[in-house]
Structure formats: C-alpha cells, structure tokens
Amino acid sequence: MPPPSDRSQHPRSSPGVALRSPPSHNPLSSPSSLPSKLSPPLSENPTLREELLSYLERDVFYLEGKAAVEKQVLGLVREDGALTSKKTNKTSLRSINDEIRAVAMERQEAMAKVVKSSRDDASREEGAAERGEEGEAKTASEKKKIRFIFDSEDLLDACKRIPATRNLGMDKDVTYGLIKVMFATPDLVDMREKFRELHPHNLQVGIDDILEDSSRFVAHRQALGLKVIEEEYIPIARQYCKYGVPSSLRGRVYRVAMGMAGSVGAKERRYFSGLTNSMKALKYPIHDELFTMDCVTTVANDMSFFPFAEPLTNVVLAFSRDDWLREMSRARANECLEHVCEDGSTIKVPASSVHPFKGFVKYASPLALTYQEEEEIYFTFRAMYASLWSKLNTISSKEGELLHVVKTFEELLFALHPGLFLHLLSIGVDPLQVAFPWIHLAFSNVLDAEQLLLLWDRLVGYDDLTILSLFAASIFLFRAEILLCCGSKEEVGNVFKGNWGRRLKVVPLLQAVLWPDVLK
C-alpha cells in the first residue's frame, strides 16, 4: 500500500483559485460581531432576516462550495422536471418533456398505446396490408422523420447557461472555464488519497496481468474473486473492483458490488419477463422509436457491439417500462409524461422517467461483452444507471453529479497544466467542450471495450464519478505536447478525430497523473 499523504504539506485549496478571507464588513465573519439577542425577532423583521440569510448563503457557499448553486441558477426554470433556459439563442428551446410532446404532435402519435390482444395486432397488420401503397404514400408524405431530443452537446449548453454564483467576494476572472458556478472541488492531493489503491506500488489488473510473468498474479486474483462472489458482501466486492476485475469474473463481481446475488435468479427472470410482456401490451410510439433509433445508429455502426444490437434494443425498451427506477435512482432529471386512456385512467410515459437521448445505449453496450443473456445485461445496467449514470444526466448542485464532475475536470486540468489550458483558450478551444461528451458517456464513446471495462471496474469500486474527471485530465496531459503545437480549432479537432482513443491505457494514465514522480 502507498504511504499516506502528508496533508500538512499540501493545504487544501481550489486549483487555480486564490481563496480570500470573507469581507471585513460581513457581520457573520466572526462570532463576536453577532448580537447576543436579536430584537425584534427575525420573523418580525423580514428585511434583517433577508440580509442575514444573504450573508449566510455567501459564507456557507464560501466554506462548502455548493450550498447555494440551485438558488443561483437564475437563467433556468424547472418545468416538468427538466431544466430549460429563459434566455437562449434557440427561440424554440423547450423542456425535454415539451420537446417530446411537440414531436408527438408533429407525427400525430399518442404518447402510449394499449394493445388489448394479439388478435388486435393481427387485424391491424391485415388492415395495413390491404391499404398497401396508399398507406405507404401517406406515411412518406405526412410522417415527419423523428429526431433525437437531446445529446451531450445540448446538455453542455444547459450547463454553460448557468450564471456565476453571486455574493462570493471573488473576482470574476477566477471562473476561467465554461462552468461559472463555483464548487469546492477535490485537488490532486485529495485525489491521491481518494484513489490510493491505484498507486503504482499496488498490483493492478490492466497492467500486471499482461506481463510475461503474470501467471501467479492472475491466479491469485481469480481465486480471490471467487471468494468475493461467494461472500456476496458489497464492501468487499467494491474493494476488489478498485484493483481491477478479471474479465471471466467481471459479470458476477459487478452484480455483487451492486447489491445483487452473483447470478440471476428465478425472481429476476420473472420480473424481466414481465417487462418484455409489457413491451407487447403497451407501446410508447415516440420513446420506443427514439430508443430503437439510438441502438441502430450507435450500436449497429460499432464493430465491437453490432452483433448485440437486438438484445441491447430489448434491454433498453424493457428499461423504459421499469418503474423501479423512479424510486431507486440516486438522481432524476425528468418527470414522466402522462397519457390519458379512453377509460379515463392515466399511464406514466415512460414508466422509468428516463427519456431517450443520443448515445444512451452506450451505457449498456459494454455489458453485452460481459454477459450472455438479456436478463444479466439488464439488471446490471439498471443498477449502474440508478447509482451512477443517472447522476451524469442531472443538473444540480449536489456533489458527485454532472456539474460538480465537469467542474472538477476544469479545476484539475488548470492546476496541473495552466499553460495548456490557457493556450487552448487562446485558440478558441475550451477543454470542457472537448471532454464533456467523454465524461457524459463515461468514455464509452472513446475507449476500446477492454480498457473501458477496466475504467468501469474502478468506477464501480469507488462509486465516485470524479475518476472520470481525473481520467479526462490525464488524456489532455498525455496529449499536451501535440496540443501545445496546435494553432486552431481544426488542428485540435484532428488530434481527437476518429478512433484516437482506442490505444489509450486507462490504469497507466491514471497513475501518471496521480503519481508522476513515482513513475519517473
């Protein structure tokens, strides 16, 4: 194990930001400045109450780094559970739910359709066949091509529109990145302590298992992994994941780490069967088409995953019907739409409250290489979405969610290589503009499958999304020499063009950014 960090030599601070003492005029900056008794009471003096709350808000945010973010999102309003901007260069920008309603109206589709029986389906198919070319012509002329509701770029635009936090007593110049809201983010010393198991002194799956004399290490990890699976104890499984998981055990270890049994049981199979039956009995015309389109355009065009297009489509469609996610997800970005049936009852659409977006299936596709059955893929994917991926799709002030994670990336990169950060800004490239899609999709759009799963091993083990921030910063440092030679956006784009990330090695890059002196 690596020696513990000496925090006395590394005072905690926000990278690139010089923290200042609270302004001297703040009556809450010292206990002695507070009156022993407030007269009249705060409830009877709203002006004094608001003034004190204003000071408290500033000081709490100064100390905690995140206490008042949601109150400072002045340019955003919450509508139907989705964040939408009051001021935007897109005059027709609406909440995600409103966008879906608009698509349904354009296509003259209901949000949900109840299929009463298989006989009804057969009669509909016969009727469609009889209409023949007339129906096809009508579809071509009247039915507009469906579009994705949003993607990573749209989500970044929403994050950028959140204004800087007020009343912090800080200069505006300190917000050098795209995210203007100030957070207390972990610095490199914090990262070393948090991810200490990654220290080069420790043997790692992803490095030591591919060496020539790795047989003893591989055998040891296999034997230990089998004991972890047998134990079915979450903390032990997660600790095991921090050092990497052998591919032959990954599926079962992930299940244990996510709080499930090592293998799919009869109860889970019945539950998944119920979801697949509901896919036949209840159609979501808009959502089903969007989820299917994502699978076709994303998975079918990827050489690693195109054989799994059909099972992944089934998994994603079943996911949309699972109301378990509404209650169990750590974060929820949107509320369900409601469809009123002929009998007056209402149906929540989708039952999971997760709306489709471009690239969504990438959260599930790597698991198709780990599991053989749809049920196995489904329950691990569902657990990972509830605990991890849901936080990457929610804009809030909470630590460990999207805003905090991408702000951590900006702070880390600026602290580690300010020259590179400023050079990129000088040529019109914001580092987060490049890195945001990587972080949002957990690098499933960058790495090859083997390296991606090695990164996800650590993600499951630490249950901490800031490792994505760290890895994104490590890529910029790894490419720093080339990026410093770039003189335009186009040249930077060429550096990250095509399959550039397929040769990246996850564990060496993480170790290089955390402990560069050890690896010299």
Q: What is the pLDDT of residues 80-107, one digit of tens each?
A: 333 333 333 332 335 788 888 888 888 8
pLDDT for 68 beyond 70: no
pTM: 0.78
Tokens for 114?
A: 């109840």
Separation of alpha carbons 31 and 26, rounded Å: 11
CA dihedral (120, 125, 126, 128) in degrees, to 10, reads: 130
Q: Which one of 12-26, 125-139, 308-322 scores highest in mean pLDDT?
A: 308-322
Structure tokens at 372: 């053989």
pLDDT of residue 103: 85
Would you state the pLDDT for residue 117?
Answer: 60
| Chain segment 241-300, per-residue pLDDT in tens | 999 999 999 999 999 999 999 999 999 999 999 999 999 999 999 999 999 999 998 887
Q: Which amino acid does the sequence have at 421?
A: F
Mean pLDDT of 494-504: 95
Mean local confidence (pLDDT), 147-169: 83
Q: Which residue from 100, 150, 74 is spatially nearest to 335, judged by alpha carbons?
A: 100
Residue 327, pLDDT > 50, answer yes
Q: What's the start-to-end Cα distance of the chain, in Å? A: 19
Q: Which two tokens stand for residue 43?
A: 């409830």
- In 73-197, which residue ranges form alpha helices assigned H by DSSP? 96-107, 118-131, 133-142, 152-160, 188-194
Q: Which amino acid is at 422?
A: L
CA distance 96 to 81: 9
Q: Is the pLDDT of residue 17 over 70?
A: no
Looking at residue 215, its pLDDT comes to 94
Compute the distance between CA of residue 190 and CA of residue 196 in angstroms, rounded to an integer. Answer: 10
344 pLDDT higher than 90: no
Q: Residue 351 in contact with residue 326, Cβ under 8 Å?
A: yes
Q: Which residue has the tokens 């995140």?
A: 66
Mean pLDDT of the region 513-520: 90
Residue corresponding to tokens 């065009």: 301
Q: How far is CA 147 from CA 151, 289, 510, in A?
A: 11, 10, 37
| Alpha helices (runs of H) in 232-300, residue ranges in sequence order | 234-241, 250-257, 266-281, 285-294
Q: How many Cα neighbours within 13 Å face the side chain of 159?
A: 28
Mean pLDDT of 471-478: 98
The predicted pLDDT at position 92 comes to 31
